């Protein structure tokens, strides 16, 4: 049971770090791409998409992308729910 919790914790931590790396690269590495960035986009894309849809619907005039904040909040809630269940 303890190893299952550790595995869940590791998976969610990797997702959180992937989103943070995505955010930093969007500021620094604009317009460039390579195979590692493409893998990162494939991991974070599905996580960021719901936040982007929410932002398009309610805050379409803002220039700041709030989808990473929404994705991190969803990840934190999902992590707490899974840990509470187990």
Q: What pLDDT does 30 receive?
A: 75
pLDDT < 50 regions, the chain: none
Q: What pLDDT does 1 receive?
A: 65
Query: Pick from 65, 44, 45, 41: which is nearest to 55 by CA?
Result: 65
Q: What pLDDT does 24 receive?
A: 92
Q: What pLDDT does 49 receive?
A: 93
- Find out whether 79 and 26 touch, Cβ atoms under 8 Å: no
Q: What is the pTM of this model?
A: 0.84
Q: What pLDDT does 22 receive?
A: 92
């Amino acid at each position: 049971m303890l190893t299952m919790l550790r595995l869940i914790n590791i998976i969610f931590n990797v997702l959180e770090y992937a989103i943070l790396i995505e955010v930093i690269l969007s500021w620094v590495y604009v317009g460039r791409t390579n195979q590692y960035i493409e893998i990162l986009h494939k991991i974070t894309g599905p996580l960021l998409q719901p936040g982007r849809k929410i932002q398009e619907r309610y805050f379409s005039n803002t220039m700041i992308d709030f989808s990473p904040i929404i994705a991190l909040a969803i990840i934190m809630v999902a992590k707490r729910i899974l840990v509470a269940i187990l």
